[in-house]
Structure 1
Amino acid sequence: MSYADVNGLRLWYEEHGEGRPLVLLHGGYGAVETFAPILPALARRRRVIAVDLQGHGRTADVDRPLRYESMADDVAALLRHLDLPGAEVLGYSLGGGVALRTAIQHPELVRRLVLVSTPCRRQGWYPEVLAALAGQDEQAGEQMRGTPTYQLYERIAPRPQDWPQLWAKSGALLRREYDWSPEVAALAVPTLLVFADADSIPVSHMAEFYGLLGGGHRPPGAAGTARLRPLSRLAILPGLTHQEIPTTPLLPRLALPFLTHQLR
């Protein structure tokens, strides 16, 4: 467990297990503890590097906005700091957006990618979810005091008084429009998309995202051949919500074979 000084930020990361490196990126207002229920299963097969993103967990905020792009640069700088080209990256929700931007901006550093409950454009969320995201601000953060999420932050954050600031910056990030569809369509990194069937993202967007990665298409003359299998994969897990999916034991059971096996 340590800090890496990257991009003017003291970025917290901790390592578990041995093997090929796998970077874990948590969701909004979370920390490395998000993955505690599945970490042992992952660490049995991988050198897991779990990161607290800017302003989250044990990583103190700095004087810059929260942006997917800058947090992706932080992850890339950490990989270079640890001399880990060709790492695997698994990100959930906010962390999924950071993981995707890392693969887009630094493809030479990412071997395979697992995106959990992550859209590739802002309008990929359900409209009511977008409305909730747009309402996140300091006042909403105050209303979250006393929740388990706040209690974790209060316990581990270098400056617990920054809680309202985290909500203000997160709200500004989540209100920004983005559409990474063209960059996703050009992505060469094999990617596993994982969603819950009761996710905050409609199935139509899941299929759209998968299509941009080459899924759901039948090449001419490919019937009955391995060419029907794209390098990327799509999984929709039954009976789960957006909040439940990062802790389900089904996630490592899906992710590890994808990360390990020859895809074609």
Structure 2
Amino acid sequence: MNVRRAVIDNGGVELAVFDFPSAEPAVVILHGLAGSSREFEQTARALAPRRVVLVDLRGHGDSTRAPADVSRDAFVNDVVKVIESLSDGPVSLVGQSMGGHTAMLVAARHPHLVDRLVLLEAGVGGDGDAQSRDSLRQYFESWPVPFADHASAGGFLGDSPLQRAWVDGLESRADGLWPRFEPGVMVAVMEHVDAHALWDDWERVALPTLLVFAEHGIFSPRMRAELTDRAGHASSIELADASHDAHLDAFAAWADALRTFVSTG
């Protein structure tokens, strides 16, 4: 499957998108914090013959690395710009973690652009605090960058599916390998996600929605129940033996659930 890379300008912020062209309507997928579109390349290929568009969100991957605005509105506006630039009709919108929070807001505020919504280990926000963000900053700043090579990066980061994705996605520069994100930007992004639980937006979502939780994910039974109960048209599933990054460590189950949902209706 050929992949077309494009850069979309949104008010001076460059958004890198990777278009797997095929049959419409398109499926647009948004990655989580400190991730990139690379994590979902396998998912895109599994959805063939559907067209799939992967987006490097602002502050991530090949998109503008240190944008001035990392508000929720800015992320939403970016996704709206991508959809309007690349699609002639509503899309199936998929997001994991922070990308899922963004996807939810797009569906709530721009329902004409979305016909189906899939949230993988994502919710309404408002559940982090300064301590959790400080821990996040300390972890990312502990990386001894630049790494000399992929082996040394793997030796430090570890061998989980997420850590391997980070290693595989490192950017090669003259002095070594660097992450495709800035720690301070990631913390600033999460400050906006943590600021409020956006239940009003969630309750405005009135289109078919699939909540995908992981057996070993971050959502408690109470949190899952509240999300499902307060949704108008949501169903939920749990992926066995999966983590918060179930698209990486429970790929077959994730791909099957996603393929089934976006193909119905």
Alpha-carbon shift at residue 246 of structure 1 (Å)? 4.4
**Cα separation, partners in 2 of 1:141 and 1:200, compared to 1, 3 Å:** same
Partner of 2:182: 166
Match of 2:195 in 1: 177
Report if aligned partners of 1:198, 1:241 keep a CA contact under 8 Å in 2.
yes
Cα shift readout 1:145-185 (whole Å, capped 9, x = no counterpart)? 433426623249xxx8786x721122123233211112211
TM-score by length of 2: 0.80
Contact 1:112 1:191 in 2 (8 A): yes
- Give, in whole Å, the separation in 2 of the partners of 1:31 and 1:84: 25
CA–CA distance in 2 between the matches of 1:68 and 1:99? 11
Alignment of 1:121-200 (within 5 A): 121-123=125-127, 131-137=131-137, 139-144=138-143, 145=145, 146=153, 147=157, 148=164, 149=166, 152-155=169-172, 166-175=182-191, 176-200=194-218
Q: Distance in 2 between matches of 1:161 and 1:81?
A: 31
Q: TM-score, normalised by structure 1?
A: 0.80
1:196–1:245 Cα contact (<8 Å) kept: no
The Cα shift of 1:63 comes to 3.8
Tell me the equivalent position of 1:244. 246
In 2: Cα distance, 1:104 partner to 1:252 partner: 25
In structure 2, what is the Cα distance between the partners aligned to 1:56 and 1:16?
20
Q: Does 1:103 align with 2:107?
A: yes
User: 1:213: which partner in 2?
Assistant: 231
Residue 21 (structure 1) aligned to one of 26, 45, 50: 26
Decide which structure has greater strand share.
Answer: 2
**One-letter code aligned to 1:71:** F
Contact 1:5 1:11 in 2 (8 A): yes
Partner of 2:161: none
Aligned residues: 236
**Match of residue 38 from structure 1:** 43
CA contact (8 A) 2:217 2:242 kept: yes
State the superposition RMSD in angstroms. 2.4
Shift of 1:69: 2.3
Secondary structure of 1:135 counterpart: helix
Letter aligned with residue 253 of structure 1: D
> AA paired with 1:235?
I
Match in the other structure for 1:235: 237
Verify the 8 A CA contact 1:134 1:174 in the aligned structure 2. no
1:52 aligns with 2:56: yes
**CA distance in structure 1 between the aligned counterparts of 2:16 and 2:110, rounded to whole angstroms:** 20
Evaluate the alpha carbon distance shift between residue 72 and residue 6 of structure 1 in structure 2; reply closer, same or farther with a 3 A threshold.
same
Identity of aligned residues (%): 23
